[in-house]
Amino acid sequence: MERIGLLGLPNAGKSSLFNALTGGDVPVAAHPYTTTETTVGVARVPDPRLDALAEMSASRKVVHAGVDVVDIAGLASGAAGGEGLGNRFLAGIREVDALCYVLRAFEDAEVPGDVDPVGALEALEMELVLADIATIEGQIDRRRKAMKAAKGDKQMAELVEAMEAAYEELGAGTPLYRSGLAPAVRGRLAEAFLLTSKPVLAVVNIGEDQLGTADGLVADVARSLGVAGPIAGEPGHQPGGEPGAGAVLAVAVQLEAEASRLAESDRSELLEGLGLGEGVLPRLAQVAYQVLGRRTFFTTGDKESRAWTFRAGSTARTCAGVIHSDLERGFIRAEVIHWDELLKLGSWNEAKAAGKLRLEGKEYVVEDGDVLEIRFNV
């Protein structure tokens, strides 16, 4: 399972958000560095499509998709040079697949810290940029020597060229996710393990009194980050855009964290009373899923309905391997139908009787929302 890391300045609300997303109990206090170690939990990705399929099949078990969430030790200015918990902070980021900036906008006299989300974003980005500059400076001479030694090695030459282009962007203070580098160039930098080459999203942590006025804050952060915002849409359907495109959401983190500890009926009553519907956390989990470039296919039956995670663009054979390696090894073909068409028909047997199940081979590119049954022989 891939990981998304929560990072922010002290008292930004990272740990509260972590607890709300994962049901964890990381300590939260109104002083810096309450979190000094990275903590990992799993955020369930709600999906009404799966719930509808489970109801149709009268499934005895329902298994939703999930994404790992990492609460990373807080950052202070100078972290790239080892200040504060800098080394621990940077080590935690290197281990995640995508970044989620938690940016404080709420006012609270009892909680110290800045309340400028754009300023916080700029401070966080600068530390990551400085860390990436140090990483490239430590590698580029070695890579150039290797390129000269391996004359005609096209891949090595392309890597050096990509690192030089990245160094120029970073030197201008630009994170690579916001740079003008082509996706293919950024792809060549994967082995350099640069922090700002990771996909990003941001949470603007607002107070309850800012619920009706958060769009302006979100727009400012989105403009600075260079991604979409504010996010709209229903939980359970993937946001539009390409994998890794990023997004910004406003979240009343403390309110959502308190609601997450209530019984489901009480939680729904609280959120509905504030005009928040199911709350923003289901949408946040979905956006994180999107940023990581993940999609969902389903299996359904009376025993179990399950959401399976796959990388966008994967083939039917690769997705069979997500279920079990034997299914990939012995793959023959897949029976496929989109989830909404299956629901209209009422059951898998009805879909088969109506001739609506498509037989697809190993090169079929699975779409988000497909329901699969794999035929295999081992």
Domain ranges of the chain: 3-291, 313-376
Q: Tokens standing for 262?
A: 């209530």
Q: Tokens standing for 354?
A: 């109506």
Distance set, CA 124 to CA 7, 19, 112, 204 (Å): 8, 22, 18, 14
Nearest one of 190, 166, 182, 84 to 127, comparing CA atoms: 84
Peptide bond preceding 48: is omega within 30 degrees of 0, i.e. cis? no
- The one-letter code for the residue type at 218 is V
For the segment 317-342, what is each residue's pLDDT rounded down to a tens digit? 999 999 999 999 999 999 999 999 99
C-alpha Rg value of the chain to the nearest Å: 23
State how far the Cα of 285 lies from the Cα of 260, in Å rounded to an integer. Answer: 14
Average pLDDT over every residue of 340-367: 97
HSE (side-chain half, CA atoms, 13 Å) at 313: 3
pLDDT at 232: 40
pLDDT at 88: 60
Confidence class of residue 284 from pLDDT cuts 50, 70 and 90? confident
pLDDT at 26: 56
pLDDT over threshold 50, residue 235:
no
Confidence class of residue 28 from pLDDT cuts 50, 70 and 90? low
The mean-pLDDT minimum among 143-147, 184-188, 286-290 falls in: 286-290
pLDDT at 6: 93
Report the sign of the C-alpha dihedral through residues 177, 103, 293, 357, in that order. negative
Average pLDDT over every residue of 29-34: 47
For the segment 203-215, what is each residue's pLDDT rounded down to a tens digit? 999 998 888 888 8
Where is mean pLDDT largest: 43-47, 221-225, 267-271, 368-372? 368-372
- Report the topology of domain 3-291: Rossmann fold (3.40.50)
Specify whether the CB–CB gap between 189 and 170 falls below 8 A.
no
Q: Which CATH number fits domain 313-376: 3.10.20.30, 3.40.1190.20, 1.10.357.10, 3.40.50.300?
A: 3.10.20.30
Specify whether the CB–CB gap between 123 and 9 falls below 8 A.
yes
Report the sign of the C-alpha dihedral through residues 253, 256, 258, 260, in that order. negative
Q: Tokens standing for 364?
A: 């079929």
Average pLDDT over every residue of 2-28: 83
Where is mean pLDDT largest: 11-15, 19-23, 254-258, 306-310? 306-310
Q: Which residue has the higher pLDDT, 223 or 261?
A: 223
pLDDT at 361: 97
Q: Tokens standing for 170?
A: 């970073």
Tokens 């229903």 found at: 234
Q: Which residue has the higher pLDDT, 52 or 262?
A: 52
Q: Which residue has the higher pLDDT, 283 or 195?
A: 195
pLDDT over threshold 90, residue 345:
yes
Specify whether the CB–CB gap between 41 and 23 falls below 8 A.
yes
Average pLDDT over every residue of 67-93: 67
State how far the Cα of 54 lies from the Cα of 88, in Å rounded to an integer. Answer: 43
Number of neighbours of residue 303 by Cβ within 10 angstroms: 11
State how far the Cα of 290 lies from the Cα of 293, in Å rounded to an integer. Answer: 5
Q: Which residue has the higher pLDDT, 227 or 3?
A: 3
For the segment 34-61, what is each residue's pLDDT rounded down to a tens digit? 445 678 898 888 899 999 999 999 999 9
Q: What is the share, in percent, of the chain residues with pLDDT greater than 70?
A: 87
pLDDT over threshold 60, residue 87:
no
Whole-number average pLDDT of the chain: 85
For the segment 146-201, what is each residue's pLDDT rounded down to a tens digit? 888 877 788 888 889 999 999 999 999 999 998 888 888 888 888 888 999 998 99
Residue 265 CB burial class (10 angstroms; 0-12, 13-18, ≥19)? exposed
Q: Tokens standing for 86?
A: 């800098």
- The one-letter code for the residue type at 362 is K
State how far the Cα of 119 lies from the Cα of 125, in Å rounded to an integer. Answer: 10
pLDDT at 230: 56
Specify whether the CB–CB gap between 53 and 339 falls below 8 A.
yes
Specify whether the CB–CB gap between 299 and 323 falls below 8 A.
yes
State how far the Cα of 61 lies from the Cα of 1, in Å rounded to an integer. Answer: 21
pTM of the entire structure? 0.84
pLDDT over threshold 80, residue 315:
yes
pLDDT at 310: 94
